[in-house]
Structures are given as structure tokens and as C-alpha cells.
Amino acid sequence: MAEGAQTGTQAQTPARMRRPAAGAPLRIALAGLGTVGGGVLRLIEANGALIARRAGRPIIVTAVSARDRDKDRGLDMTRYAWEDDMTRMAARADVDVVVELVGGADGPALTLARQALRSGRALVTANKAMIAHHGMELAALGEQSGAPLRFEAAVAGGVPVIKGLREGAAANAVDRVYGILNGTCNYILSTMEDSGRDFADVLAEAQALGYAEADPAFDIEGTDAAHKLAILAALAYGTQIDFTAVETTGITRILAADIAEAEALGHVIRLIAMAELEGEGGRGLFQRVQPCLVPFDHPLAHVDGPTNAVVVEGNFSGRLLFQGAGAGDGPTASAVVADIIDIARGIAQGFEADMPFSVPVANLEALPPAASGHRRARAYLRFIVADRPGVLAEITAAMRDAGVSIESLMQKGRADSEGEVLVAMVTHEAPEAAVTEALRLLDGSPSLLAKPLVMHLIEK
């Protein structure tokens, strides 16, 4: 049974999709009038004639909903019917497509999504959390009713990476998909790199500029990137979404000193989301979000500010790079309206089936999480230790006993912390399990004043 599906007397049989007559307008109900929702309205108004030519029919907004009806949005809202309860929009006779831009994995957004697809109305959403948690259920509902489900804007804003995986790379077996999926983290890291300032200072600046939320935990702890990675992995490998299996580490513990050490090694630090098949016959799915050291000559090293970029490595296409604005009203609204245009074209061509994950939900594999201990990589390790004799020998002995060879090592005092020393090292390529064992041997040592930081090095 699909995740979150209803059973018993609660189950409903989906209606078949409502299809407008040839040439008739495609009628949109829009839930959520924040930055992106306002952008969608402005885009449809500004480019309406162009959109109609490309879609094969006019696209009009008939109904809207948001929490604050009286807010001044700089738009003429009188032309649209208003629904105080957004979940009612899926039952309106003048609606063919529901656009959900409210956000949140559950609650009213999920209720609206379910009702739209069950009633045979197409659903377009930018809600990565909802798709990561309930995408399988919603895709199954869309299949049953013949109603399209589109979510291009849920990953990387205006960057067409979902379309690239579904269509452009459709003939390829994907060896690996990875990239920078959170603009807030990328802005913070690249600003730390440029300015030499520490994390807390740059985060405060990002909040003041609107690049980070007042509560930035979802971004800086890696959850937002993990939602997006789970969606990309399902598309790349034809698997069921498994957000809970994504190993996630954020950027909150990165110091300006780590940025400087990475630069001295010819690298930058970026929060990298990565997925690939592993194990015998590729029967396990590895998914991880983690800050990594990226070499200067890698394409991702030059992705600065609030930009997103995704690398797809296909067995015949080779390396494909998708890069652009990962958020904002214009880019995200562009992706939302592109999905609406795709739906309009499909209706015009009489498409009956919709497979948002490229294959039927029943054919998506449920792969177990791949163990990471055997993965071999060079690692950057950073310790903050007491300034006393024998500490360095203690650390190197733990590395020796775990079978980890040290490639380079640096030790220096911290100007702002009396009695503390920062020790950083890069290991030779070794199994991740060996590095984990070395840290276990050091666990509880009074010489360590903070939890060690581990970041892997991305190879070219």
C-alpha cells in the first residue's frame, strides 16, 4: 500500500480527470499567495499570450486562497474568486488544475493535494517536503484518476533538473546524481569563503538579506536538501522515495578555519547531496547530505551564493550539469508555470496516463539503504583539543590502530580560545568504517574539547 493511503470506509474512488474542450482555457486554482504564488500570478499576467501559444490554449486563474485575505500583495485580487478554506478549491466546477504553494509535509497542503487528485484535477506543487514524505501516495492517486502530478519547482527552483532526469536522461542508467540543493547553505559557505567570517556571523547576515528564514534549521541542518535528494534519487533510479534513509549532516559546525584549510588544500566546502546505487547488482541505495571538500577544478566549486546545481552522470550521456537560481519568485514561478504548460499540452494531445516518476508506482523498487562503511574516500578531519603535550600522538595513534593513513596534518592555536588547539588532517583513501573506528577510539578522551568534524573529499 502506498504511504499514507486511506483504507476501509475512508477510501474514495478517484474520479477521472476533467478535460477541457479543445481550445478552452485551462482553469487554475492557486493556494498560497506568498513570494512564489505572487510570482505565478505576475508571470501569467505578463506572459499570458506567449503562454497560450505554447500551451495550445489560454491559461487563466479562476480561484485563489491564502491565510490573509486583506494583505496588500501589489496585485488586483478582485478578478479571482477567493476561498477562505483552500481545501474547497478541489471541488470547484471552474477548476481544472490545483496549484499548491502553501508548503508543509502534512496539514491543509496534503489534504488539498489528495482531494485534487481524487477529484480528477491535476496538481502542481513546489512542496518538496510533501513530495518527499507522501509522493508515492499522491502519484498513485494521480495514476488512478488520470490526473497529472507535477513538482518541477520542488527541487532547485527554476532549474529543470526533474525534467532533465525524466526526459533528457531517460535513456541512461544513472551512475550518480549529486549537487548543491540548498541556496541558503551555499550562500553561507561561499560568503564565509570570501570574507573569512565564521558561521554565526554570516547566518545573521543571510537572515537580514532574506536568504535564510528566521528559523533556519531546515536549511542549515540539511533537511531541505535531504527532501530534494530523496525525490531526485527516486527519479534517477526508479525507486520508491525513502527520505528516512538519507544520512544528513548540516553546516552548523563549520568554522572559518575549516574554510581556510580547505582553500590551502585546493578545495572549497559545499553542502553536497549525493545518491547512487551500491551493493551487489546495485541492490542498495546510498543517499547522503553532508558538507564536503570540492576541488577547485570541479564544476560545483564555482557555484556561489544562493545558486543550486545538480550533476547527473549517465552511462552514455556522461556528466550533465544543471545550474541556476534555486529559489525566488521569478525562477520558482517559472518552473510552476512550465508544469502547467506541460499539463495543457498533454490534455491537448489526449494523454490518459501520468507517471510523475517515469514508471508506474507499482513498478518503483523498494531498495534498502546501502551501508556506507565500505565506501572509500579521502577524509578531512578536524579536532579541537587541549593545548598540552601528547595530544597529537594520541590522535595519530588512534588513526594507526584503525588502519587510517594520514596524508597531511596541521596544528595551530586558536586566537580566540585560550588553551585550545585546532588539529586538521587529510587521510589517504580509506574505508569510512576505518575513520569511524578511529573516532570511536578517541571518544571520551579528555583531550578532545569538541566533537570531531568529518568531511569527505569529492574527487574530480
DSSP for 126-161, written as a single string: --HHHHHHHHHHHHHHHHHHT--EE-GGGTTTT--H
Q: What are the grid coordinates assigned to 321, written together?
A: 550539469
Residue with cell 481545501: 87
Cα–Cα distance measured from residue 123 to residue 348, given in angstroms and rounded to the nearest whole number: 17
Residue of 54, 57, 28 whose CA lies nearest to 41: 28
In the set 71, 228, 451, 460, the catalytic residue is 228
Residue with cell 596524508: 407
Q: Is 228 a catalytic residue?
A: yes
Give the full edge-to-edge strand order of the sheet including 307-314: 247-248, 284-295, 267-278, 174-180, 307-314, 318-325
Contact 322, 160 (CB under 8 A): yes
**Element holding 319 (H helix, E strand):** strand 318-325
Cα–Cα distance measured from residue 182 to residue 381, given in angstroms and rounded to the nearest whole number: 24
Cα distances (angstroms) measured from residue 275 to each of 247, 289, 312: 10, 9, 10
Within 8 A by CB and 6+ apart from 232, the residues are 155, 161, 162, 165, 177, 273, 275, 310
Catalytic residues: 228
